[in-house]
Amino acid sequence: MLELEERLHRLATEHERAARVPAASAAIRRGHRRRRRLAGVATVTVLSLLACLVGVRELWQPAALEPPAGPAAPVTTAACERRPCDQTNPMPRGYEEVKGTVVAKGEQPGFRWRLVIRRHKLPDGQHELVALYERDDYSPPVDLVTLEPVRLSFVVPTKRFPDMHGIVTDRTALVRLRPVRDGAPLAPVEVRPTDGGAIFPHNSWFVAFLPKGSELSRIELLDRRGQPICSERVKKVKLPGGSETIPGGSCF
C-alpha cells in the first residue's frame, strides 16, 4: 500500500514539473534558437534568389551581346518615299512633255539632260525664240526666252547649278566662257555652237558645263576667223533684299 502511494506521489510530482511554465531564460534560449533557424532559412532564401538573379542575367546577357544571325534587314530611308531606290536604274524619271524639238541630249555624272527649242510668231509680228534645258534628276527646267534679232542670250550659271545654255548669232564659231572660283580665274571653257537650222534660221545654240563651285565672269563670241564678235562681263550687283547678276558689254 505504501509502495503504491509512493509511486502515485512520484507520478504527481513529475506531472506537476512537466506542467510548470518554463523560466524566462529557457524561453529566450528557445527564441534565440528560433531566430537562428529563421535567419538560416532567410539566408538560404536570399542566396537562392541571388542565384536565380545571376542565372537570369547570364541567360539574358549573351543574347544582348551576340550579333544577330544572318544579314541585317534592309533599311528604308525617307528618300525612298520620294525617289525610286532601284540602284540598277538610278535615273528612271522621264522628261516632261513640252512643245518644241529636242536638238541635243547628253549625260553628266548623276543625271541626263536635253535641250528643246522652238520658235513661233507673236501677234505683233515678232518671232520668239525659246530654249528649254531639262535634267532628269528632279532639277527644275531652265527656260530661256528671247526675241529676234538675237546676238547673244544666255542663262547665267551659279555655283549650285553650273549648267548653262544660250542662243547666239549664227556668225559665232566659238563661245569662250571664263569662269572664276572665289575670285580666282580658272581655265576658260570653249564651246562650238550648233546651227539652229530651220527652227532658228538666224541663230545657233550651245550647252556648256562650268567646273563645280565656279561662277561665270565673262562670255566671248568669236567668228570663224577667231576675231571677237562681242563680249559680256557678268557681275553681281547688290540690291535691297539680295543681289542681281547683270551682264555688261557689247553683245546687247
The count of other CB atoms within 10 Å of the CB of residue 170 is 14
Q: Which residue has the cell 512520484?
A: 10
Task: Please give the DSSP secondary-structure letter assigned to residue 201.
Answer: T
Query: What digits encode the pLDDT tens for the residues 158-173?
Result: 888 999 999 999 999 9
Q: Is 199 left (phi over 0), alpha (psi -120 to 50) or beta?
A: alpha
Nearest to 165 by CA among 177, 149, 182: 177
Residue 227's pLDDT is 97
Question: Above pLDDT 70, what percent of the chain?
Answer: 58
Please indicate whether residue 164 or residue 98 has the higher confidence score (pLDDT).
Answer: 164
Burial class of 212 by CB neighbour count within 10 A (0 to 12, 13 to 18, 19+): exposed
Query: What digits encode the pLDDT tens for the residues 108-119?
Result: 999 999 999 999
8 A C-beta contact, residue 222 and residue 229: yes
Beta strands in 54-141 (DSSP E): 101-108, 111-121, 127-135
Residue 174's pLDDT is 96
Task: State the virtual CA torsion across 222, 224, 225, 228 in degrees, nearest 10.
Answer: -10
CA–CA separation, 203 and 227 (whole Å): 18
| Residue 60 pLDDT greater than 50, yes or no | no
Please give the single-letter amino acid code of residue 70.
G
Residue 243's pLDDT is 59
Query: What digits encode the pLDDT tens for the residues 175-214?
Result: 999 999 998 999 999 999 999 999 999 999 999 999 999 9
Residue 250's pLDDT is 84
- pLDDT band, residue 93 (cuts 50/70/90): low
105, β-bridge pairs: 114
Please give the single-letter amino acid code of residue 215.
E
Please indicate whether residue 75 or residue 100 has the higher confidence score (pLDDT).
Answer: 100
Query: What digits encode the pLDDT tens for the residues 111-140?
Result: 999 999 999 999 999 999 999 999 988 888
Angle at the Cα of 113 from the Cα atoms of 224 and 136, rounded to 5 degrees: 165
Query: What digits encode the pLDDT tens for the residues 68-83?
Result: 443 333 322 223 333 3
Residue 248's pLDDT is 77
Report residue 78 as a C-alpha cell: 525617307
Nearest to 235 by CA among 219, 248, 249: 248
Per-state percent for the chain, helix, strand, coil, to nearest 5: 25, 35, 35
Residue 249's pLDDT is 82
**pTM, to two decimals:** 0.61
Nearest to 130 by CA among 138, 119, 122: 119
Residue 244's pLDDT is 64
